[in-house]
């Protein structure tokens, strides 16, 4: 009699239960992943739609710049600001180092046989801040054609800070007695829906075009007023630095003390932050960073531009890389400004362009902005801008949108 038990058979039922549990777990994980994916899509869909819609809109800017501006406008300004602070901190120049041997070539040398009229005022050479002076440093050079026997737009370069011997300031002087200032809305700035005009230098005015240059911050960043030809696009703010042109033809840079509308005697008014120069001296609060632009304030050295007025009522434009608002004020004062305001900042925006011949021909960049073409403002641009014209009696009161 064999008492050995036969081999037991595997328990099929428990194994089947284990496989069933595994399948249920896999299905549950898959369901959770799908729900998570749907949540992510639901959250990102409006963001992707907004970004795509913005990128598909007409624009004068490259994709990268538009993407950064989109981030600024959609609650990610902190990310852009922090990134820029880190980048500019890494790339900021250190004091000292080798000095420049030559300066960038700007403008043109006037022919020796051409003499300016005895009554034509010409600013004195900008005295060099470093020795030995370089060839042409601080010497005003003509651009374009003459008006009334003398060039109305002069340009120069000089080393702006002995502590940073490789930094160059680019400066232009605009004779108010023979020119007329114009201001044009861009495609998106100012944001008001009032008539925007041609978004570029009007074709009917290009025959007398002398120069164009950038305006101030966007309204979102600067909250400055904007008025043109009797229309208030954005109300003027008391105390803000303001570029003003009057029907008499006079121009000025002032701290605004009027109302929300400039009144009938003003052709244009564009505001941007408080004055950085007043009475020939820097604003004593220039060390207060947030007052000079929420993006970078005054702590970081970047491209900055500004516009001032000299003692004779002529405009002075200046731009330079690796500047604080305080060093920009120093450049404008050294060039002769008694009052000045900061214009737009960062590498994308400063532009000063001159034209060798009428019709906008032979454009030349004073500011070496690699992200903008010399034909900027001859085609529709996203930002508002200034244009300088040869003065004519018929156009002394306003620059029309034609």
- Dihedral (CA of 364, 367, 371, 372) sign: negative
Residue range 152-179: mean pLDDT, rounded: 95
Flag whether pLDDT at 117 surpasses 60.
no
Flag whether pLDDT at 9 surpasses 60.
no
Q: What's the pLDDT score for residue 112?
A: 37
- First-to-last CA distance in the chain? 120
Name the nearest CA neighbour of 313 among 143, 173, 116.
173
Task: Say which residue the tokens 């002398």 belong to.
Answer: 210
Q: What's the pLDDT score for residue 176?
A: 93
Q: Measuring CA to CA, how many Å separate 314 from each of 154, 365, 395?
A: 11, 21, 19
Average pLDDT in the chain: 85
Q: What's the pLDDT score for residue 193?
A: 81
Q: Measuring CA to CA, how many Å separate 140 from each of 158, 350, 360?
A: 10, 20, 22
Domain boundaries of the chain, sorted by first residue: 13-91, 141-395
Whether the Cβ atoms of residue 77 and residue 110 lie closer than 8 Å to each other: no
The DSSP 8-state label assigned to residue 150 in this structure reads: B
Q: What's the pLDDT score for residue 297?
A: 47
- DSSP lists the bridge partners of residue 262 as none
Neighbouring C-beta atoms of residue 204, cutoff 10 Å: 11
Flag whether pLDDT at 6 surpasses 70.
no
CA–CA separation, 275 vs 292, rounded Å?
A: 10
CA–CA separation, 283 vs 253, rounded Å?
A: 14
What is the DSSP code string of 188-218?
Answer: SSS---S--TTSS--GGGGGGEEEEEE----
The pTM assigned to this predicted structure is 0.85
CA–CA separation, 207 vs 147, rounded Å?
A: 13
CA–CA separation, 290 vs 182, rounded Å?
A: 30
Whether the Cβ atoms of residue 183 and residue 380 lie closer than 8 Å to each other: no
Per-residue model confidence as pLDDT tens digits over 366-398: 999 999 999 999 999 999 999 999 998 765 556
CA–CA separation, 137 vs 133, rounded Å?
A: 6
Q: Tokens in use for 267?
A: 């052709």
pLDDT confidence tier of residue 293, bands split at 50, 70 and 90: low
CA–CA separation, 305 vs 198, rounded Å?
A: 25
Report strand pairing: 226-228 vs 209-214: unpaired
Per-residue model confidence as pLDDT tens digits over 177-229: 999 999 999 999 999 988 899 999 999 999 999 999 999 999 988 899 999 99
- At how many degrees (to 10) do helices 63-73 and 12-56 cross? 100
Flag whether pLDDT at 111 surpasses 50.
no
Per-residue model confidence as pLDDT tens digits over 58-106: 777 777 777 777 677 766 666 777 777 777 777 777 888 888 899 998 9
CA–CA separation, 309 vs 341, rounded Å?
A: 10
């Amino acid at each position: 009699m064999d008492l050995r038990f036969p081999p037991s058979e595997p328990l099929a039922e428990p194994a089947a239960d284990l496989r069933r549990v595994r399948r249920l777990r896999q299905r549950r994980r898959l369901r959770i992943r799908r729900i998570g994916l749907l949540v992510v899509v639901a959250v990102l869909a409006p963001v992707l739609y907004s970004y795509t819609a913005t990128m598909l809109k007409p624009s004068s800017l490259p994709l990268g710049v538009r993407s950064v501006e989109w981030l600024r406008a959609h609650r990610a300004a902190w990310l852009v600001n922090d990134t820029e602070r880190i980048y500019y901190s890494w790339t900021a120049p250190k004091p000292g180092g080798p000095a420049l041997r030559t300066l960038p070539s700007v403008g043109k040398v006037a022919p020796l046989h051409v003499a300016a009229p005895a009554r034509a005022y010409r600013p004195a050479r900008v005295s060099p801040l470093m020795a030995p002076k370089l060839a042409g440093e601080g010497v005003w050079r003509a651009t374009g054609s003459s008006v009334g026997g003398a060039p109305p737009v002069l340009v120069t370069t000089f080393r702006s800070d002995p502590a940073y011997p490789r930094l160059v300031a680019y400066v232009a002087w605009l004779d108010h007695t023979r020119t007329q200032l114009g201001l044009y809305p861009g495609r998106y700035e100012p944001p008001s829906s009032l008539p925007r005009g041609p978004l570029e230098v009007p074709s009917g005015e290009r025959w007398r075009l002398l120069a164009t240059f950038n305006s101030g911050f966007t309204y979102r960043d600067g909250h400055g007023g904007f008025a043109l030809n009797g229309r208030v696009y954005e109300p003027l703010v008391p105390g803000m630095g303001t570029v003003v042109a009057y029907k008499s033809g006079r121009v000025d840079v002032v701290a605004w003390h009027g109302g929300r509308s400039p009144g009938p005697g003003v052709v244009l008014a564009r505001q941007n932050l408080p004055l950085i120069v007043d009475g020939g001296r820097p604003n004593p609060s220039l060390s207060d960073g947030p007052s000079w632009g929420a993006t970078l304030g005054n702590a970081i050295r970047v491209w900055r531009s500004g516009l001032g007025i000299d003692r004779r009522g002529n405009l002075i434009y200046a731009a330079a890389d690796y500047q604080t608002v305080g060093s920009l004020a120093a450049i404008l004062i050294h060039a002769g400004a008694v009052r000045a305001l900061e214009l737009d900042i960062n590498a994308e925006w400063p532009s000063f362009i001159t034209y060798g011949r009428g019709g906008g021909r032979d454009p030349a960049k004073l500011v070496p902005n690699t992200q903008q073409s010399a034909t900027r403002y001859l085609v529709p641009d996203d930002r508002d801008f200034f244009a300088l014209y040869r003065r004519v009696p018929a156009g002394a009161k306003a620059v029309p949108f034609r």
